Amino acid sequence: MGYELPLKRLIARLDIKGQNVIKGIQFEGLRVIGAPQQLAKKYYDEGADELLLIDSVASLYQRDNILNIVEETAEEIFIPLTVGGGIRTLSDAKKLLLSGADKVAINSAAVMRPELLNEIAQIFGSQCVVLSVEAKQNGSNWEVYTNNGREPSGINVLEWVSRARTLGVGEVLITSVDRDGTKKGLDNELMKKVREVTDLPLIGCGGIGANEGVLSSFEQCQLEGIAMASALHSKKVELIELRTFLKSSGVPVRNIG
């Protein structure tokens, strides 16, 4: 299968609670992995194309303690930084972007008030606005969940994503709640369905567990990027080896070194 530019992106995801990176399975059973600044630097040094920082409890408790982490991380890494969690207003987005974030990822607040996405895009540009979608399968469809995979919204994922461009969004991040942390591979069926309803850059997340699975998802789903958390934390996937494997398989990825 042939590929064309742009390059595919390998993204390291850090889910943050307080001052720690945490991870669980299907957003449950969370355990501490380490300090976000240290892990961000580690994955940057190993060749991540981007970093995704998600404050996993900010929406629940209306907390805003990720700004310092973003500032410190932005001083140490020089790749795009996307930050999500607890962004409820234009002011919240502005603080993060001024602190060093390149993009903001919005889920719960966008479901509650979709106009927020356009408000941010009008000031900072669509390239800064990522629609973050937590998708959980419900029969033959997928439903949008909010508050870090805890609350069903009643909204159909495909119908929601199909509105993304008109809402000012520049990129879509789809996380499979069902696959999250399982290392069983991305939900390719979901990703392919989402690709059918939008031409925006699409990032797949949830379930990465092997180099072969990443290759399969890039080949089948027309993704622009794949975000990984558990696979990296557990060393099930090593970024340097993954990049070499994908390049040898014909996937256009950034050259390192």
Active site residues: 15, 134
CA separation for the pair 87, 176 (Å, rounded): 21
Instruction: Please give, one letter per residue, the 3-state secondary structure of 122-152.
Output: HHHCHHHEEEEEEEEEECCEEEEEECCCCEE
The closest alpha carbon to 125, from 88, 170, 95, 162, belongs to 170
Number of neighbouring beta carbons within 10 Å of residue 96: 29
Q: Which of 43, 42, 40 is nearest to 16 (CA)?
A: 40
Q: How many CB atoms lie under 10 A from the CB of residue 114?
A: 18
Beta strand 202-205 pairing with 171-176: parallel
What secondary structure does DSSP assign to 191-220, as a single string? HHHHHHH--S-EEEES----HHHHHHHHHH
